[in-house]
A = this chain, B = another copy of it.
Amino acid sequence: MLVVLTGGTGGAKLIEGLAAEIDPAQLTVICNTADDAVFHGLYVSPDIDTITYTLAGLNDGERGWGILDDTFAVLGQLRRLGNDVWFNLGDNDFATHITRSRLMAEGLTLTQVTERIRAALGVKATVLPMTDERVETRVVTPEGELSFQEFFVKERWSRAVESVHLIGAERCKPAPGVLEAIRQSSAVVIAPSNPITSIGPILAVSEIRKALRHSVVNVVGVSPIIGRAAISGPAHKLMAAQGLEPTAFGVAESYRDLLNRFVIDSEDRVLRSRIEGLGIRVLETAIRMTCIADKRRLARQVLALLEK
C-alpha cells in the first residue's frame, strides 16, 4: 500500500502517473481540505475533486481543475441571477457539489461522501479527506484576511502576504482510515503540492504528523518548486511570507522530520548538498510534468526511490 499526501494541481499530476504505474487499488490518497469552501450554498472540496476526477480520467489536465470539456451553463445563469461568480464551476462539477451537499445535509461525513463519489466514478484508489472536521487556511494581507480561494482565485494571488494560518487543524481528528493507511503503508509520498496551503494543513493535523514521524517506511517528497518559483501557483510567495526559503531546500526543510528522500529538479542541483545536510537523500531529475509520459516517468522514479 502506497500513501500519498496531496493538494490539487501538482499533486494530481504525480498521482495520475502513479495510478498508471501501479495497481491503483494499492493507492491511498490523503487530500488537503483546508481550501474547501461553500459557493452558492454548495460545499466544494477542490483538492478531493481534482484528485477524484484525475483518478477517474475526467480531469482537465490543461487547466488543472474541473472536468474535461465541461460546460458552464449553470454559472452563466447564476451570474444573470445576480450571483457573484468569481469561482469557476462547470456543470458536471456542479453535479458533484450538489450531490455532496445533499449527502452532507443528510448527515454523511465528507469521508463517506468522497467514498460514494469515488465508487460512482469507478475510481479504484482510496481517496480520503485529511479530516471530516472543518479546517480553514487564512491568508493575512495588509488589506485584511482572506480565505485561500479568495486569495488564490478571486485575487489571483496578487496581494502581498503577511502570513498564513490555519483555523481548526491542530485539534481536529484525522478522517477515519487516514492513520490506518499510514500505519499499513509500505511507503509514503509527499506530492509536489504547496507546502504551506496543501501539504501544510495535512501535516498540521497533529495525529497525522505524529504517525508519519513514527513511520519506519520510506517517505519521499517531490519538490513543487524549481529555482525560486512554484511550477504553478503561489507556493514560493506563501513560503517566503512564512519565513521559509522559497526553494526546494525550503520545502525539504519544512518536511525534515518526516522525509528521507527528496526529488528536486536538475536545475536545482546546487541545492543538493544543503538538502543532504538535512539527512535526506536527493534525486535530481526533470520534475516538470507536461504530458502523461512525464507523469509516468517521474512516478517510476519516485517508486524506484521508495524501494531503495
When the two chains form their complex, are residues A41 and B105 in contact, meaning their CB atoms are under 8 A apart? yes
When the two chains form their complex, are residues A40 and B70 in contact, meaning their CB atoms are under 8 A apart? no
How does the 8 Å CB contact mask read for A104-129 relative to B, with 1 for contact and 0 for none?
A: 01000000000011001100000000
How does the 8 Å CB contact mask read for A69-112 relative to B, with 1 for contact and 0 for none?
A: 01101111110111100000011101110110110010000000
A87 to chain B, nearest CB (A): 13
Copies of this protein in the complex? 2
Q: Which residues of B contact A83 (CB under 8 A)?
A: 95, 99
Residue of B70, B99, B102, B116 touching A73 (CB-CB under 8 A): B70
* A81-B120, A82-B120, A96-B81 as given contacts; A41 in contact with B73, CB under 8 Å: no
A187 to chain B, nearest CB (A): 32
Bound complex: CA A65 to CA B210 (Å):
56
Count contacts on A: residues with CB < 8 A to the other chain: 30
* A41-B105, A70-B73 as given contacts; A99 in contact with B120, CB under 8 Å: no
When the two chains form their complex, are residues A41 and B101 in contact, meaning their CB atoms are under 8 A apart? yes
> For the complex, is A217 an interface residue (Cβ under 8 Å from B)?
no
Q: Which residues of B contact A96 (CB under 8 A)?
A: 77, 81
> For the complex, is A244 an interface residue (Cβ under 8 Å from B)?
no
* A73-B73, A74-B94 as given contacts; A80 in contact with B121, CB under 8 Å: yes
> For the complex, is A20 an interface residue (Cβ under 8 Å from B)?
no
> For the complex, is A42 an interface residue (Cβ under 8 Å from B)?
yes
Q: Which residues of B contact A41 (CB under 8 A)?
A: 98, 101-102, 105
When the two chains form their complex, are residues A74 and B101 in contact, meaning their CB atoms are under 8 A apart? no
How does the 8 Å CB contact mask read for A163-188 relative to B, with 1 for contact and 0 for none?
A: 00000000000000000000000000
A116: nearest chain-B partner, CB-CB: B82
How does the 8 Å CB contact mask read for A20-42 relative to B, with 1 for contact and 0 for none?
A: 00000000000000000000111
When the two chains form their complex, are residues A92 and B77 in contact, meaning their CB atoms are under 8 A apart? yes
A43 to chain B, nearest CB (A): 10
Bound complex: CA A214 to CA B117 (Å):
56
Beyond known contacts A77-B96, A80-B95, A81-B95: 17 more, CB 8 A cutoff: A40-B98, A41-B98, A41-B101, A71-B71, A71-B73, A73-B73, A73-B91, A73-B92, A74-B92, A74-B98, A77-B94, A77-B95, A78-B98, A80-B120, A81-B121, A82-B120, A94-B94
User: Can you list 24 A-B pairs, Cβ within 8 angstroms, ordered by A?
Assistant: A40-B98, A41-B102, A41-B105, A70-B73, A73-B90, A74-B98, A76-B92, A76-B95, A77-B91, A77-B92, A77-B94, A78-B95, A80-B95, A80-B120, A80-B121, A81-B96, A81-B99, A81-B117, A81-B121, A82-B116, A82-B120, A83-B99, A94-B98, A98-B98
